Amino acid sequence: MSLEPISLGEFEQMVLLAVLCAGHEADAYGVNVHAELQARTKRRVARGAVYMTLDRLEKKGLLSSYLSVPTPERGGRAKRCYRVTKPALDALRASRRALLNLWDGVRTPGI
Amino acid sequence: MSLEPISLGEFEQMVLLAVLCAGHEADAYGVNVHAELQARTKRRVARGAVYMTLDRLEKKGLLSSYLSVPTPERGGRAKRCYRVTKPALDALRASRRALLNLWDGVRTPGI
DNA sequence: TTGATTTGTCCAACAATGTTGGGATAACGT
DNA sequence: ACGTTATCCCAACATTGTTGGACAAATCAA
């Protein structure tokens, strides 16, 4: 029963945000989230890394998931869809705050 | 010889920023950086964690250091002072960009 | 000059996170 | 039935994060 929000790793943070992003247009699931992540961070991300992290985040109670019904398209199997939980939002806010506070303290041209 | 900037962990990122912050007023060294970090992130940080990370960052070429001459005050022994390097600035910028891009994609009230 | 006090560094061991590549599974179309 | 597509998930390993405390160097006070 920690009073502080759970602290997030860098990648965890990004995955959570990607779930939120992807979740606006449709259900957020592996492929989805992976794409969003690559697009927004401009860097190569291994699919496996995303699934690993989604999994860990769910175990920590920062995500919840359910299986969708398969869509009737070639190869369209059931997707595992994710929602971010309240504690996750708290953790995200805290991380953001912390980073913004640090950035605010930096007076270096071009940073 | 990577083209992408080195990717930073969450804590590494914060330590680098704290070095920049602390470095404006005076030399940035362990105690200094530790204090800045705690103050700005509002969370408890073990001293050892900071030294570990400073060390690793230097080995990766993201920080450089030198030993100061001792100050003539009680207990004032020589400090190991740090400067962030160019590659570190690049990495910080990239991390910041990536996170901002993700945050921008989130339309969740109060995030 | 000896010991107490203060400031500061650094380590060993462990826990958690990040990364890779590929193998497994389930749906579809023909 | 079979190949093709989309998706999930694992095992193994590499890197980061965390803890608590031991050690070192300087000052002060008796």
pLDDT band of residue B2 (cuts 50, 70, 90) is very low
Task: Indicate if the pLDDT at residue B5 is higher than 80.
Answer: no
C-beta separation of A31 from A45 below 8 A:
no
Give how far the C-alpha of residue A10 lies from the chain's centroid of Cα atoms, to the nearest Å. Answer: 10
Is the separation of the CB atoms in A64 and A93 below 8 Å? no
A40 CA to chain B: closest CA distance, Å? 6
C1' of D21 to CA of B26 (Å): 28
Closest to B84 (Cα-Cα) out of B63, B60, B55: B63
Q: A10-25 and A86-104 helices cross at what angle (nearest 10)?
A: 120
A74 contact to strand D (CB, 7 A limit): yes
Which strands make up the sheet holding A28-29, listed edge to edge?
A28-29, A80-84, A63-67
Residue of A4, A15, A40 to mutate when probing chain B, most B C-beta within 10 A? A40
d(CA B1, nearest CA chain A) in Å: 16
* Separation in Å: D16 C1' and B108 CA: 30
pLDDT over 90 percentage in chain B: 86
Cβ neighbours of A25 in B, within 8 Å = none
> Tokens 């995200």 identify what position?
A92
In chain B the first and final C-alpha atoms are separated, in Å, by 37
Share of chain A above pLDDT 90, in %: 84
> Which residues does chain A have within 8 Å of residue B9's beta carbon, measured at their own beta carbons?
9-10
User: Distance between CA atoms of A95 and A43, rounded to whole angstroms?
Assistant: 21
More confident residue, B28 or B4: B28
By a Cβ cutoff of 8 Å, what residues of chain B touch chain A? 4, 7-10, 13-14, 17-18, 20-21, 24, 36-37, 40-43, 89, 92-93, 95-99, 101-103, 105-108, 110-111
Please name the residue of chain B whose CA is at the shortest distance from the CA of residue A8. Answer: B10
Tell whether the model's pLDDT for residue B92 goes beyond 90.
yes
Q: Which protein residue has its CA closest to C1' of C16? A: A9
CA B18/CA B57 separation, integer angstroms: 13
Q: What residue of B is the nearest CA neighbor of A43?
A: B4
pLDDT digits (tens, 9 = 90+) for A11-51: 999 999 999 999 999 999 999 999 999 999 999 999 999 99
The helix or strand, by DSSP H or E, that contains position B67, with its residue range, turns out to be strand B63-67
Choice between A2 and B97, residue whose per-residue pLDDT is larger: B97
